[in-house]
Amino acid sequence: MLRDRSNEKTGHLRARAKITSHFGISSSSHFWQILKTKNLEIVNYYCAFCSLKSTKPNQNLSAKNVNLFLREPLGLLLLVCLITYGCGRHHVKPATPPSKKLIVLSGKTKGPGFSPYVINGQRYYPLPDSEGFVQYGKASWYGKKFHGRPTASGEIFDMHRQSAAHKTLPLGTYVKATNLSNKKQVVVRINDRGPFVKGRIIDLSYAAAKEIGLIGAGVAEVRIATLGREVGEIKSSLGSKPVVEIQDLDSGEFTVQVGAFESKENALRLSGRLKVIFDYVDVEVCDDKDKGPVYRVRVSKSKTLTKAGKIEKKLESMGFEEAFIVSL
């Protein structure tokens, strides 16, 4: 055991000397300067030298490799340095509204399931799967605790009106939610963000949840599908066809939430570890009137849901199984 520890210490000293030589670090101040611009390369070089993994500079690290790195004395030193340089709050600019396009609904979209809904005097049509957004998962509901509080859209939440929260759909989007256990449906407007729980895809207001029989169960499997706003119609010998406006729901600004903490220190500790691997890591502070401040650790800023999905999969493979995508 003593010989093993001696060999381990010798290995760390050799690694430290090798890093100093490889990166041309001549002083403590120079070390800080190098670390700010080459932190991932230093980590990779250190891991490769210690045979933790055969890796080349600037490649992404596996979860096992990162965990091994963080257990090493030099790795912990680098981690403390990275937290010092990277724990500040990032200021996120308002997301650019998604682009829109017009489509003509064909005769295939007529009949049961495709009848229009009239909302505030405006017609909205369910969209074909190829053009719209369809999602399956669990729905939950919220009510009295949040009644009268501002939503993400700035509107005041009214539990007695039909509305909903979604993680990524643009605010203002109308969706049809179907309770798969009883086939009851409700059309709601997305005006809030949430639910911030893996696997739950939509949070319905009390009134909307009551409409589809969700109050007693609390959580139910649902199908949600976006609706397109009618902006005109095209007449032909076969009759009239509605023209609807749809949004590019794959575009926007998205991030992946890794965890939420009541402890600021725990949030910063995790964000520091993630900054070894990812270019963008943010700690967002959310004020919960019951729990106090909640610190949400979020990774990456992606312009498309597709790219954000890849980051989510990567985090899941690293052991962060509860990671989920949210719109900025």
In the chain, what are the domains? 2-86 (no CATH), 100-247 (2.40.40.10), 251-327 (3.30.70.1070)
Interior/surface letters 135-169, b for 16+ CB within 10 angstroms, e for the rest: beebbbbbbeebeeeebebeeebbbeebbbbbbbb
Q: Give the model confidence (pLDDT) of 278-322 as tens digits.
A: 999 999 998 877 778 999 999 999 999 999 999 999 999 999 999
Residue 75's pLDDT band, with cuts at 50, 70 and 90, is: very low
Residue 80 to residues 84, 87, 184, 270, Cα–Cα distance (Å): 6, 11, 53, 11
* pTM of the complete model beyond 0.85: no
Neighbours of 91 (CB within 10 A): 6
| Average model confidence (pLDDT) across the chain | 77
Cα separation, 14 vs 7, whole angstroms = 10
Please give the share of the chain, as a percent, with pLDDT higher than 70. 67
**pLDDT at residue 8 is higher than 80:** no
Query: How far apart, in whole angstroms, are the C-alpha atoms of residue 105 and residue 127?
Result: 8
- The pLDDT assigned to 266 comes to 95
List the single range of 65-74, 234-243, 290-299 with lowest mean pLDDT.
65-74
